[in-house]
Chain A
Amino acid sequence: DGGITQSPKYLFRKEGQNVTLSCEQNLNHDAMYWYRQDPGQGLRLIYYSQIVNDFQKGDIAEGYSVSREKKESFPLTVTSAQKNPTAFYLCASLPGLAGGPHEQFFGPGTRLTVL
């Protein structure tokens, strides 16, 4: 079955530590997104990528980094510069921007907690 997988489901980070969240999709989608979700708030865009080897900052990119070396993969690194990283992280993909509008497909999420 096609879909988006995120791992791990739960992640714990110590102060000063970098951690990487995995996102993989087998939908053959061009665009991929990372969102952060905090209680009572809407999804906030961290980074997005429309094509391999290219990505753009979203609204809250500070303290995060990404790479897009393969079409199927879009990992997110939460660096020690991110002072309040405890949140639910969602990865999404989109078939492309031509035609449409198209809905985003979401992964199951990773819950990151700072110890």
Chain B
Amino acid sequence: EDQVTQSPEALRLQEGESSSLNCSYTVSGLRGLFWYRQDPGKGPEFLFTLYSAGEEKEKERLKATLTKKESFLHITAPKPEDSATYLCAVQASYNFNKFYFGSGTKLNVKP
């Protein structure tokens, strides 16, 4: 069964304390893996697309990496404004219509 699992469910960091979020997937054939940021009561905001193992993308304090079975979202020296829920989604190569979402990691960065 195609599945996306994110860990941890919640993460509390002090400002400046770097860490990583994990997204593991079991789809057979990856077309694309997507990271989104979601603030409370709002729609997800697109961050990155990854589609081949070894690929890396960066944006400000965020860096996303991809292997054959998982992706990491590294947060370097986070700030309180980075607090949000981070969602991972996978699109399978055999069915372009569907996107499989993980349940998200809720990040709280304290000043």
Contact = CB atoms under 8 A, between A and B. Distances in A.
Interface stretch (B13-21, B36-44, B65-73, B74-82): B36-44
Interface string B1-41: 00010000100000000000000000000011010100001
Interface string B82-111: 000001010100001111111110000000
A2 interface: no
B96 A97 contact: yes
A109 B41 contact: yes
Interface size range of chain B in the complex: 20 to 34
Interface size range of chain A in the complex: 20 to 34
A59 to B, nearest CB: 9
A56 interface: yes
A75 interface: no
Given A106-B44, A107-B43, A109-B41, A42 B31 contact: no
Contacts, number: 64
A90 to B, nearest CB: 6
B101 A108 contact: no
A103 B43 contact: no
Nearest to B10: A40
A61 to B, nearest CB: 13
B84 to A, nearest CB: 14
A33 B49 CA distance: 19
B90 to A, nearest CB: 10
Contacts of B96: 97, 100
Interface stretch (A14-22, A43-51, A77-85): A43-51
B7 to A, nearest CB: 13
Contacts of B51: 101
Interface of A: 4, 6, 31, 33, 35, 40-45, 48, 50, 56, 58, 88, 90, 97, 100-109, 111
The 8 closest A-B pairs by CB, nearest first: A101-B32, A106-B43, A42-B101, A43-B101, A97-B96, A42-B103, A103-B46, A106-B44
